[in-house]
Structure 1
Amino acid sequence: MMAAFNKLNLGVAVSSFAISQLLFHVLSSWISARVTSGFSNLDQKKKIEWNSRTVSTFHALVVGLFCLYILLYDEAVNGDRVWGDPSTVQLNLAITSGYLISDLLLIIFYWKAIGDIYFIIHHLVALYAYSFVLGRGLLAYFANFRLLAEFSTPFVNQRWFFEVLGYSKASKANIINGLLMTIAFFLGRIIVIPIYYSNVATEFGTEAFHKLGFAAQSAWFISSIVLDVMNLMWMVKITKGCYKVICLIGQGEAKTNKNGKSN
C-alpha cells in the first residue's frame, strides 16, 4: 500500500512538473497574448518572467485552495500534528515539489532574465523540508500550515503584471491589488508566525517529537526559521512599497483639493 502511494505521489509530482513546463513554454504566451495586447509588446526577458509568474500564480491557487481544504476538513492531519495521516498533504506537496523543481530549472536556465539567489534558497529549503513529509509521512500538519503562504503569491505577481503593462502606481487597479497583496502577505506569512511556533512549542519534548529523530527535527526547525526570515525581509519591502503608494494617493488628493479650491 505504501509503495503504491509513493508511486501516486511520484506520478503527481511528475505531472505537476510537466504541466508547469507546458504552461511556461506554451500555454502562458498563448493565453496572455489573447488576454492583453501588452504582452506582445514586451521584450524577451520580460516575456520569460511573465510566463514564470503565470505558472507561479496557477500553482499558488491550486495548492492554496487544497491547503485550506486540508486545514479546515482533514481531521486525521489536524488531530495528530506530528504523525497524523499525511495522505492528502503528501498529494499537495507532490504538486508543489513538481512545480518547485520545474521553477528551479527555469531559474537556472534563464538566469539572466529571472535569476534570483533568494528564490534558489527558498526552493531548495522547501524541497528539503518537504522530502521528510513525502518520504516518511511526518509533520504533515506543519507542512500544510506553511503552504498558507501561497495565498499572497497571486497578488505579488499581479503587481508585477501591472507594472510591465504600464499601469500607474496610483491607478485604482494597482492600489487595490497593492493593498490586497499587503494584507494577504501579512495574514498568510507574518501573522501566522507566532501561531505556527506556538504549535511547535506544544509538540516540543513530547514522545511524538522525540520519535522524529535529529535529522527530521533539524530540517523542521532550520527550514522554518530560514523561510520566516525571508518572509520578514519580503514583508519589509512590501510595506515600504505600500507606504510609497499611500503617499502618492495623499499627494494626488492634496493636488486635487488645491486645484478645486483655486477654481
Structure 2
Amino acid sequence: MLSSEGTNMAIKSYQSQAELLFKNYVFADSFVVYTSVVIGIFACKTVYEISRLISAVYFKSYSSLISSRQVEWNNRAMSTFHAVYITTVSLYFAFWSDLYSDNIFRGPITLRSSTLSTIALGVSVGYFLSDLGMIIWSYPSLGGMEYVIHHLLSLMGVVYPMLTGEGQLYTFMLLLSEATTPSINLRWYLDVAGMKKSRAYIVNGVVIFLAWLVARILWFIYLFFHAYQHRDQVMEMHNIGVALILGIPAVLSVMNLMWFWKIFKGLKKTLAKRE
C-alpha cells in the first residue's frame, strides 16, 4: 500500500497534469472557437425544443397550426432568443466595455479582440448556422432567397472576425441591428393568434417602424461614419477584412431600405384601415 505522503504526491502530480492539460486545451484558440459555435447550436436546439413543449401546452393557437407553421413558430422563438442575446452582448462591447475604447496605447481598435468577445461571436455563428440550415431544409416556408442571402452575409461578417480577431467592434455594431427581431416575431405571433385588428398589433407595427429606422437605417449611417473617422485604423486590417466590414453593411443597408419601405407601406395601410 502507498504511504500517505506518497498518495499526496501522486494526487499533486495528477493535479498538475490536469491543470496543464486544462490550460493548453481551454485557452487554445481553436477550442474557444469551435466550442462556442457548438454551444450556439446546442442553445438553439434547446430553445426550439422548449418552445415546442411549452407552446403545445399553453397556446391554443399553436396546436391548430399545420406542421410547417409550428416549425416556424419554434424557429421564431429561437431567433428571438438569439436577438436578445446578441443585442445585449453587442451593447456591452460597443458601449460599456473598454476593449474598443479610443486608447492609442492599446493599438488599432480594428485589431483588438478577447477570449470573451470571440466566444460571443462563436455563439452567434452557431445560431446563424442553425437558422440557415432550417431555412434551406424547409425552403421556402421559413423565408425566400432574401433570407438565405441575409444569413450568408451575416455568417461571412461574423466568421471572419471570430477567426482572425479583426474588425470585431464593427461586427458587434452590425449585430445590434438584431434588436428589431423580437418585435418582428411578435407581429407574426399576433397574426397567427388572430389579433391582427387588436391595439397590440397596431402598437407593434409602430414599434417595428421606429426600431427599424433607428437600428437598421440611422445606426448603419453611424457605423459608416465611425469607420470613416477611424479609416486609418480600418486600413490596418487585411484587405479581406476591410472588404467585409464595409461591403457587407453596404449590401445589408440596401436590403434594409427595401424592407423599411415595405414596413412603412404596411404601417400606413394598417393605420388607414384603423381610421
1:67 aligned to which of 73, 90, 94: 90
**Distance 1:126-1:85 versus aligned 2 partners, 3 A rule:** same
Q: Which residue matches 2:270?
A: 245
Matches of residues 30-179 of structure 1 in structure 2 within 5 Å?
A: 30-79=53-102, 80-168=108-196, 170-179=197-206
Q: 1:187 aligns with which of 211, 214, 226?
A: 214
Counterpart amino acid of residue 203 in structure 1: H
Counterpart pick for 1:218 among 243, 249, 260 = 243
- Show structure 2 runs of 5+ residues with no match: 1-23, 103-107
Mean alpha-carbon deviation: is it higher for 53-62 or for 112-121? Answer: 112-121
CA distance in 2, matches of 1:190, 1:97: 23
SS in 2 for 1:91: helix
- Is the partner of 2:99 in helix, strand or coil? helix
Unaligned 5+ runs, structure 1: 251-263
Amino acid at match of 1:23: V
Amino acid corresponding to residue 221 of structure 2 in structure 1:
P
Q: Counterpart of 1:234? A: 259
Residue 241 of structure 1 aligns to a residue whose secondary structure is: helix
2: CA distance, partners of 1:120 / 1:182: 23
How far residue 118 of structure 1 moved from its aligned partner, in angstroms, is 1.0
* Inter-partner Cα distance in structure 2 for 1:90 and 1:232: 30
TM-score by length of 2: 0.84
RMSD: 1.8
- The structure with the larger Rg is 2
Q: Distance in 2 between the 1:222 and 1:86 partners?
A: 24
Q: What TM-score does the superposition give when structure 1 sets the normalisation length?
A: 0.87
**1:149-191 Cα shifts (integer Å, max 9, x gaps):** 11110000110111111113x3111112111121111111111
The change in CA–CA distance for 1:32 and 1:13 in structure 2 (over 3 A counts) is same
